[in-house]
Each structure stands twice: as C-alpha cells, then as structure tokens.
Amino acid sequence: MTSTSPGGTPVNATTRRTVLVTGSTSGIGEAIATAFARDGADVVVNGRDPQRTDAAAKRIREAGGDGEIRAIAADVGTADGVRLLTDAAPDVDVLVNNAGIFDATPAFEITDEDWIRYFEINVLSGIRLTRHYAPRMVQHGWGRVVFISSESGVSIPKDMIHYGATKTTQLAVARGFAQEVAGTGVTVNSVLPGPTLTPGVGTFIANHFGDGIPFDEAERRFIAEERPTSLLGRLIRPEEVASLVRYLGSDGASATTGAALRVDGGVVNSIIP
Ligand code: NAP
C-alpha cells in the first residue's frame, strides 16, 4: 500500500521528476541543472542561443545521471520566448527561475529602456513561467518553484540599482505566489546567492586587478577590498548555490515555503534576509 507523507508525496513511490532551469547554459544555472541531472531527474536546459544550449545539455548529460536532458533555446525575457518554452515542455515538477542579467551603470544613467529590459528578463520571465507551471503543479499535488534572487536584492549596489530592484521584486513575487498555492503540496521560495565565481564574475575580477596576478590572489583581494563583510572570505562556487536549490527542489523541503534563503557566505550583515 502506498501512504502519503505530510508533504503530499506518496511514500515508496519512485518518482522521476522533471526540472526546468532557465538560463542553464552557464554559471549558477548550469550547476543547478547538473545537480538535478546527477540525481536522476529529467532536466530541461535553457538559454537564448541554440548552440550554447545544446553544448550545455551535452556537458550536463556527460556529468552523470540517467534522466533525459533536453535543450530548449528560448528567450524567457519575452512572452513569445516563454510560450515557445512552455509549448515544448508543458509540464515540469520543479521550476528554477534562474535566468538573469546584470551590469553596472551609474544610477542617473540607467535609461527607461534598461529599467524595462531588466524587469522583463529578471522578473517577468519568472512570473510568466510560474503562472503557467504552478497551477499544473497544484493539480498534480506536488511542485517546487525557486526564484534565484541575489544579496543585491537586500543590499542594493549603488551602481546596479536596476539589478537590485529586480532582485528585491523577485522576493516579493515568490512570497506572493507561495501564499497563492498554500496547502497544495507546491512550495515557492527564493534563494539569495552572494558573489559567486561564474565565468562573468571571474572575467570581471581578472580585469579589475589587471594582468600578472594569480587568480586566487585576485579573488582574495576582491573579497577583502570589495566584499569585506563576507564571512566566507572567498567567492562562492556555483555548486554551493546548487546544493541549496537541490534541497529546495526535494521532497524533504516540504515545510519550507514563502521563504527567502541566503547562500551568500554571510556577506549581508544581517540575521534575516
Ligand atoms: P551567467 O553565468 O551570466 O548566466 C546567465 C544565464 O542566463 C546564461 O545561461 C544565459 O544564457 C541565461 N540568460 C540570460 N538572459 C536570458 C534570457 N533572456 N532567456 C534565457 N536565458 C537567458 O549568470 P550567473 O552569474 O550564473 O547568474 C545566474 C543567476 O544568479 C542570475 O539570476 C543572477 O542574478 C543570480 N546571481 C548571480 C550572482 C553571481 O555572483 N554570479 C550572485 C547573486 C545572484 P545565454 O547567454 O546562453 O542565453
């Protein structure tokens, strides 16, 4: 006989889950997709460019796991791109809204177009996808939605207020959706990574200190000079963010919903997010 756990999942059932990670051709998204794939989930890999998306899917497949790894190129910053993605993958059990862009622009120089573009890619993408997938998860009685926010959502960088504002908004959006699906077996949470060694951040730090200095020394100086509140004393690795998201996507995380969870190496000097 199969009984049901408090989290709504049949105990003893072997369930192969389908996980969609937006923006999984690189960095944190690729590490998250790899973690779920290694657990044996079917994973949908996404990015804007078909070649980059196929190449990432190949790397993720080769990293282990026996699930199906699909590559779906779609720009989640547009309604058409989201439709393309949801048509190709109509149902998922775990949605990780990871796709995001960031750059530094002085506060008074951020244009209307940039404000709108940032909200479309970093916020509306996750709203549109959650609106599609979460009601289906509710029908199935199980689901997980995770928004990848940032420490910048609670500690606004003055040269990235357009970015920080989108990351704050994600926290509110995730909390609101969690309330909407309360008591259904579906959870919605946000994760706030701190400075993480992704390819873009690695290049930024290498350029910041110029040539001739070993990367580990540049990393140490960057943290000491630019992120002195970090308790970790180094950049976070994408796999360290992925392990929290993997947990949130699991059966075991059934009582964690409507939460904002930090994986920031303690860089935000606060007890709560
Ligand atoms: P990344 O290495 O630049 O990767 C970004 C990913 O998003 C790529 O796979 C990119 O794919 C994809 N992407 C961008 N725009 C897209 C769009 N419109 N449609 C579909 N895919 C899109 O970034 P990351 O550093 O791993 O950051 C991932 C998330 O973590 C972001 O939400 C970011 O805000 C958050 N975060 C990062 C850090 C950090 O220190 N790195 C810290 C806190 C939070 P293609 O380029 O192949 O299209």
150-184 pLDDT per residue, tens: 999 999 999 999 999 999 999 999 999 999 999 99
- Ligand 1 centroid to Cα of residue 245, in Å, is 15
**Closest protein CA for atom 3 of ligand 1:** 200
| Residue-averaged pLDDT of the chain | 94
Of 90, 204, 211, 124, which is closest to residue 157 (Cα–Cα)?
A: 204
Q: Is the dihedral of CA 150, 171, 26, 121 positive or negative?
A: negative
- Ligand 1 centroid to Cα of residue 228, in Å, is 24
Of 112, 106, 117, 137, which is closest to residue 18 (Cα–Cα)?
A: 137
pLDDT of residue 5: 52
Q: Which residues line ligand 1 (CB under 6 A)?
A: 22-29, 46-49, 52, 75-77, 98-102, 121, 148, 150, 193, 195-196, 198-201
Confidence category of residue 252, pLDDT binned at 50, 70, 90: very high
Confidence category of residue 11, pLDDT binned at 50, 70, 90: very low
What is the DSSP code string of the chain?
---B-TTSPBTT-----EEEESS-SSHHHHHHHHHHHHTT-EEEEEESSHHHHHHHHHHHHHTS-SS-EEEEE--TTSHHHHHHHHHHS---SEEEE---------GGG--HHHHHHHHIIIIIHHHHHHHHHHHHHHHHT-EEEEEE--GGGTS--TT-HHHHHHHHHHHHHHHHHHHHTTTTTEEEEEEEE-SB--HHHHHHHHHHH-TTS-HHHHHHHHHHHH-TT-SS-SPBPHHHHHHHHHHHTSGGGTT--S-EEEESTT-S-SS--
Confidence category of residue 132, pLDDT binned at 50, 70, 90: very high
Residue 107, CA distances (Å) to 34, 49, 104 in order: 36, 30, 9
**Closest protein CA for atom 10 of ligand 1:** 23
Q: Which of 24, 45, 54, 102 to mutate to test the pocket of ligand 1 (most atoms within 8 A of CB)?
A: 102
Contacts of 87 (CB under 8 A, 6+ apart): none
- Ligand 1 centroid to Cα of residue 64, in Å, is 23
- Ligand 1 centroid to Cα of residue 24, in Å, is 8
Residue 264 has pLDDT above 50, yes or no: yes
- Interhelix angle 79-88/125-140, rounded to 10 degrees, is 30
For the CA of 78, the closest atom of ligand 1 is: 18
230-255 burial code (b ≥16 CB/10 A, e <16): beeeebbebebbbebbbebbbbebbe
- Interhelix angle 238-248/27-38, rounded to 10 degrees, is 50
| Structure token pair of residue 256 | 């964690």
CATH class assigned to 3-196+239-263:
alpha beta
Among residues 118, 133, 163, 247, the one annotated as catalytic is 163
- Ligand 1 centroid to Cα of residue 209, in Å, is 23
d(CA 172, CA 217): 37
Residue 10 has pLDDT above 50, yes or no: no
- Ligand 1 centroid to Cα of residue 94, in Å, is 18
Which part of the chain has CATH 3.40.50.720? Answer: 3-196+239-263
Residue 3 has pLDDT above 80, yes or no: no
Torsion of CA 114, 118, 124, 126, to 10 degrees: 170
Percent of the chain with pLDDT over 90: 90
Q: Which of 21, 44, 48, 119 to mutate to test the pocket of ligand 1 (most atoms within 8 A of CB)?
A: 48
Residue 14 has pLDDT above 70, yes or no: no
Of 173, 5, 4, which is closest to residue 97 (Cα–Cα)?
A: 173
**Closest protein CA for atom 16 of ligand 1:** 99
d(CA 30, CA 23): 8
**Closest protein CA for atom 7 of ligand 1:** 23
What global pTM score does this model have?
0.95
* 163 catalytically annotated: yes
57-75 per-position pLDDT tens digit: 999 999 999 999 999 999 9
**Closest protein CA for atom 1 of ligand 1:** 27
201-237 per-position pLDDT tens digit: 999 898 888 778 899 999 999 999 999 999 999 999 9
Asked if residue 209 lies in contact with residue 224, where contact means CB atoms within 8 angstroms, the answer is no
For the CA of 163, the closest atom of ligand 1 is: 34
